[in-house]
Amino acid sequence: MQKQDQKMESSQTINIEDKQIDNLLEIKDLCVDFFLPNGVLRAVNHVNFKLPPNKITGLVGESGSGKTTLTSAILRTVSNPGKITQGSIYFQRKDILKLSDKELRDYKWRDVAMVFQAAQNCLNPSMTIKEQFIETYLAHKKDLSTKEIIAQSEKLLRGVRLDAERVLKSYPHELSGGMKQRVMIAFAQILKPTILFLDEPTTALDVITQDYIFNILQAIHETTKMTMLLSTHDIAVVAKTCDYMAVMYGGNIVEMGDVFEMFEKPLHPYTKMLINAAPSLVGELKERNAIPGVAPDLMQERKGCIFANRCPLCDNECLQSEPKEDEITEGHLVACHKVKKGG
């Protein structure tokens, strides 16, 4: 990765922004609640977020931190019994929460696309890959002939380093897990979306295949400049792949900024602990430390900082009041009582 020359500007919310081009995506005060028999679980808690164009942004945090739910909200695919209960989501300045059924259909795939973590569940086992490419395209656009769709599909499959002729004739069960995941990456590009969302795209794949797929994603980004949002629990992947990073914990975004700056000088205690917990092939194992304690119960109402029960810096202020996000340096924002601007 090369250090980005462009600076980020910010508002009073945790955000990242390209000064020259409007943000593609802007989330304001978003809450997502799941209404369960024994109470309400708040999976996304008053999140504010802006996504810069033509960059790869990593959304990182432990399992259960709210990454997938946040992405689902952006795609308007929050499953029952979950509901978006507050806030707005703007895509190119249009609030997607107010779209009509037709506008929402156009928004999905044509404007935004998703690569899920379980590729085998996304492909129709009774249709060849070629048939699924054709069906997917014609469900949203009618401007290409079948021959042209196949030609475009072949190009995309070659772009993810697959034998296009063989794969198009295959059924999903005839492909390996890594091949199916690469097929899904090609699928996600067929309608040329503006934003590509990647939700733990290499889960259940071996480490060699994982690295191979991330190299492919980087190559696609370098060629197309497609905006990507990568959700992962693996902070090492973010370091290798992303331009920006947002750290999520307990439904909250607690820190955000340029990847290089955040790894060089992480500010939030949770970010520091995530980085310190990442395994290394060259460092001593004893230098890696697991984060003590357990993730918060999101069904319990609380006051104070969401990370207080695991934070080594916690004091009475942390227990009594929720920290507000603050811009510590240009484009680097954090929500922590113990981090002060100029401190």
pLDDT in tens, 42-95: 999 999 998 989 999 999 999 889 999 999 999 999 999 999 999 999 998 899
129-140 vs 177-189: helix crossing angle, rounded to 10? 20
Determine the pLDDT at residue 284: 56
pLDDT tens digits along 181-227 = 999 999 999 999 999 999 988 877 888 888 898 999 999 999 999 99
User: Measured between alpha carbons, how far is 142 from 175 in angstroms, rounded to an integer?
Assistant: 29
Strand 112-115 with 195-199, pairing: parallel
Assigned CATH for 1-92+195-207+227-343: 3.40.50.300
Determine the pLDDT at residue 202: 84
3-state secondary structure of 213: helix
Q: What is the mean pLDDT of residues 16-29?
A: 67
36: pLDDT strictly greater than 90: yes
Q: Residue 139: what residue type?
A: A
Q: Which residues contact 7 (CB under 8 A, 6 or more apart)?
A: 19, 330, 331
pLDDT tens digits along 117-164 = 776 678 999 999 999 999 999 988 889 999 999 999 999 999 999 999
3-state secondary structure of 233: coil
Closest CA to 167 of 133, 216, 119, 218: 133
Q: Residue 333: what residue type?
A: L
User: Measured between alpha carbons, how far is 160 from 285 in angstroms, rounded to an integer?
Assistant: 35
3-state secondary structure of 58: strand
> Which of 113-117, 257-261, 288-292 reaches the highest mean pLDDT?
257-261
User: With bands split at pLDDT 50, 70 and 90, how would you rate the model's confidence at 1?
Assistant: very low
CB 135: neighbour CB atoms within 10 A? 12
177-189 vs 207-224: helix crossing angle, rounded to 10? 20
Least confident segment among 16-25, 100-109, 320-329: 16-25
What is the full DSSP assignment across 280-294? -SSS-GGG--PPPS-
More confident residue, 280 or 318: 318
User: With bands split at pLDDT 50, 70 and 90, how would you rate the model's confidence at 16?
Assistant: very low
Give the chain's radius of gyration (CA, Å): 21
For 224, left (φ over 0), alpha (ψ -120 to 50), or beta?
A: alpha
The mean pLDDT of the chain is 87
Closest CA to 91 of 67, 69, 114, 75: 75
Q: Using an 8 Å Cβ cutoff, are 190 and 196 in contact?
A: no
- Rounded to a whole number, what is the distance in angstroms from the first to the last CA of the chain? 29
Q: Residue 29: what residue type?
A: D
Cα–Cα distances in angstroms (integers) from residue 228 to residues 58, 176, 199, 209, 260, in the given order = 8, 25, 11, 20, 18
Q: Using an 8 Å Cβ cutoff, are 126 and 92 in contact?
A: no
> Which of 166-170, 186-190, 287-291 reaches the highest mean pLDDT?
166-170
Closest CA to 182 of 191, 195, 192, 172: 172
Determine the pLDDT at residue 210: 87
10: pLDDT strictly greater than 60: no
User: With bands split at pLDDT 50, 70 and 90, how would you rate the model's confidence at 288?
Assistant: low
Closest CA to 28 of 52, 9, 44, 7: 44
User: Measured between alpha carbons, how far is 235 from 199 in angstroms, rounded to an integer?
Assistant: 14
